[in-house]
Structure formats: C-alpha cells, structure tokens
Amino acid sequence: MSKIFIAIQSCKEKESRKDACRKTWLKDLDYDKYEYMFYQSGYEGPEPYIIEGDTITFNTPKPEKVEMWASYRDLENIEGEPIRTSKNSFPVGIKTWDGRFYFGNDIFRKVVSEHKLGIQWLNLTAQLSAVCNWSLQNKDPSFFVKVDDDTFVVAENFNKIDPTPYDYYGYFNHTDWIWTFGSCYFINNECLRIFCNNSSPSQLAKVNIRCCHMDDCAMGMVLDAHKKDLIKKHEPEMKPWRPEYHEPTLPLEYKKNLIVSHGYDNLDHMLDMDHMMKEIFKS
C-alpha cells in the first residue's frame, strides 16, 4: 500500500515555521506510514514547480482580482440581482453558485473585486490544487493530508490514526458540516482525484463562501458537489486552535487524546507544546 502523503502549506517568508515543524513533530512521525513535503507559491521559472529539499514551490502567481459573494453593504458596483419576495420588496436572499438559496440579514451578491483577503485565499486554493495534482501524479497516495505550517501534530496519536473507513476526516465546520478546517484533514485517494478533476481556476471561481475563496472551504465544497454519500468523520481532537490557551481547564487525561492543534507561529511555541505533550505522556 502506498504511504499517506502529508502536504504542509507554507511560504517563503515563513522558513522559521518549517524549521519549527522539523525540530518538533516531524522528528517523531512514523515514516513507514507517512511521507511529507512543504508546499508554497513563488517560483517564477519556466517549469510548473521546483523542488528544493523537502519543499516544493509552485508557479502559481497571485490573481489581481477575485470573483466572490460579498455583502451589498460593503462593496459598490455589484453585479446580479438578489431574490425579492415581490417587485418592490426588500431583498431577502440570493441564489448561490450551486443552486442553493441563502436567506439572512446580510444579502450577498456576486462581485469581481480587488479584495486582498479574497485574493490571498484564492492563491492558497490554487496552491492546494497544484500540490494535490502533483501528489496524485507523483505519489498516488492512499490518503492525502493537508496541514498548515503553524499546526502542531501530536505524533504519538497521529501515528495511530486509521482513516481507511472514511473519505474525509478532520475537524468539521459546525455551521454546515461541509468543510473541515484547513489546519489538518485527511482525504482518501478517490476524493483526491475528485478534487484534482474539479479544481481548475474556472471551476474554483465558482466556489464562494465567507466572501472569499478559502482553500479549506474549496475542498469541502468541491467534494460535497461531486461525491454522493461522502463518508465524513468529525474528529474533535484535531483542534483548529491552541487548547492550552483556549481550554486551560482540560484534565490531564483528556489532553493525552489531542491529535493536532493550531496557531504555533514560531519555534518557541512549537517547542513549548512539544515539551508539554511529552511530559503529559510520561505522567
């Protein structure tokens, strides 16, 4: 069986985060089960990517504009008509790209904007598409795992994960249960192929949520749209936050179950977490 491939999203400006991962949880990873690469954008050569050590840099330039759904209160020059209950009534909702209707206090409409946050997330989604296609073509893994470079992985628990009963495994957004947080999630080979086949720039331009093209949302939206009976696993121990700060009263035995947590932006933070978890497992 092929190994599980871990793609760690990073950037050229965050070399210290890569080193923090290498000096902590990556040392304890089960390499009979997993292999990994950091991935980022910023390569400007003639090829689609360049590999240097454990980092693959893709030629995925940032777009200048992004198509998104945005509040009519926030942006001018909006495009498209909202839904109205009658010709003269106040707008009550919109019809989204996939045919669903959204009703709420804020009415959203499709716009094309130079929105910086939207462009940032669209670039991350393009990077995700690139690394998914690269891993499928070069590794064909049984499972693909996406991890952020500021995520701390508790290797002792992570090494024991058996994702095989599931298609999509991670900490799901509780609002709609469509997408997991991008700090860490697993998808199987079939889902990897589905995403690769449906993540061209024009296809991803249709994936709009939270007013921007977030890469974790894009993965969930594509899978939701293109795979029936998707078998999901919500794992509460894959936390998209730092439990030592957000859940300080957790008992010691509970902390032993932690799989990942998120938000460690430097080596000291990673080392502190690494030391804390090793002491917890000793107790």
Q: What is the CA radius of gyration of the chain?
A: 20
Please indicate whether residue 64 or residue 273 has the higher confidence score (pLDDT): 273
For residue 232, report the phi and psi dihedrals to the nearest 5 degrees: -110, 150
Is residue 217 within 8 Å of 179, Cβ to Cβ? Answer: yes
- Cα angle 252, 257, 262 (rounded to 5 degrees) comes to 100
Mean pLDDT of 207-216: 60
Instruction: Report the distance separating Cα 198 and Cα 194, nearest Å.
Output: 6
pLDDT at 149 over 80: yes
Please indicate whether residue 191 or residue 118 has the higher confidence score (pLDDT): 191
- The counts of H helices and E strands in the chain are 9, 15
Axis crossing angle, helix 15-23 with helix 267-282, rounded to the nearest 10: 20
- Which of the residue ranges 93-97, 173-177, 228-232, 253-257 would you say has the lowest mean pLDDT? 93-97
Instruction: Report the distance separating Cα 223 and Cα 221, nearest Å.
Output: 6
pLDDT at 36 over 80: yes
pLDDT at 239 over 70: yes
Of the pLDDT bands very low, low, confident and very high (cuts 50, 70, 90), residue 77 is very low
Find all residues with CB under 8 Å of 44, minimum gap 6, and list them: 59, 61
Q: pTM here?
A: 0.84
Instruction: Report the distance separating Cα 229 and Cα 14, nearest Å.
Output: 38
pLDDT at 244 over 90: no
Alpha helix ranges (H) inside the chain: 15-23, 116-138, 155-158, 189-197, 201-204, 215-226, 243-246, 252-255, 267-282
Taking Cα atoms as reference points, which of 102, 133, 125 lies closest to residue 204? 125
